[in-house]
Amino acid sequence: MSESQKTNGVLVRVERVEKVFHRGTESIHVLADLSLDVAAREFLALMGPSGSGKTTLLNLIGGLDRPTKGTVTVGGERVDRLSDRELAHWRARHVGFIFQLYNLMPVLNAEQNVELPLLLTHLSKAERKEHVQAALAVVGLRHRAKHYPRTLSGGEQQRVGIARGIVTDPTILLCDEPTGDLDRKAGDGILDLLQALNREHGKTVIMVTHDPHASRRAGRIVYLEKGQLSNEPLQ
pLDDT at 6: 43
What's the average model confidence in pLDDT over 189-216? 94
How many structural domains compose the chain?
A: 1
Query: Is 7 a residue whose pLDDT tops 60?
Result: no
Residue range(s) defining the domain that contains residue 143: 40-66+81-230
- State residue 90 phi and psi, 5-degree precision: -65, -45
Say if 210 falls within a structural domain. yes
To the question of pTM greater than 0.75 for the whole model, the response is yes
Say if 160 falls within a structural domain. yes
What would the pLDDT profile of 27-56 be if each residue is shown by its tens digit? 888 999 999 999 999 999 999 888 889 999
pLDDT tier at 8, thresholds 50, 70, 90:
low
Say if 128 falls within a structural domain. yes
Residue 218 neighbours by CB under 8 Å, 6+ apart? 43, 44, 45, 205, 207
Say if 127 falls within a structural domain. yes
Say if 62 falls within a structural domain. yes
Its sign, for the CA torsion 216, 33, 76, 66, is positive
DSSP 218: S
Domain CATH for 115: 3.40.50.300
Say if 27 falls within a structural domain. no
Say if 13 falls within a structural domain. no
Question: Could you tell me if residue 48 is left (phi over 0), alpha (psi between -120 and 50 degrees) or otherwise beta?
Answer: left
Cα separation, 88 vs 38, whole angstroms: 22
Query: Is 2 a residue whose pLDDT tops 70?
Result: no
Cα separation, 232 vs 214, whole angstroms: 16
In the chain, the percentage of residues whose pLDDT exceeds 90 is 77
Say if 118 falls within a structural domain. yes
Q: How many residues does the structure list for the chain?
A: 235
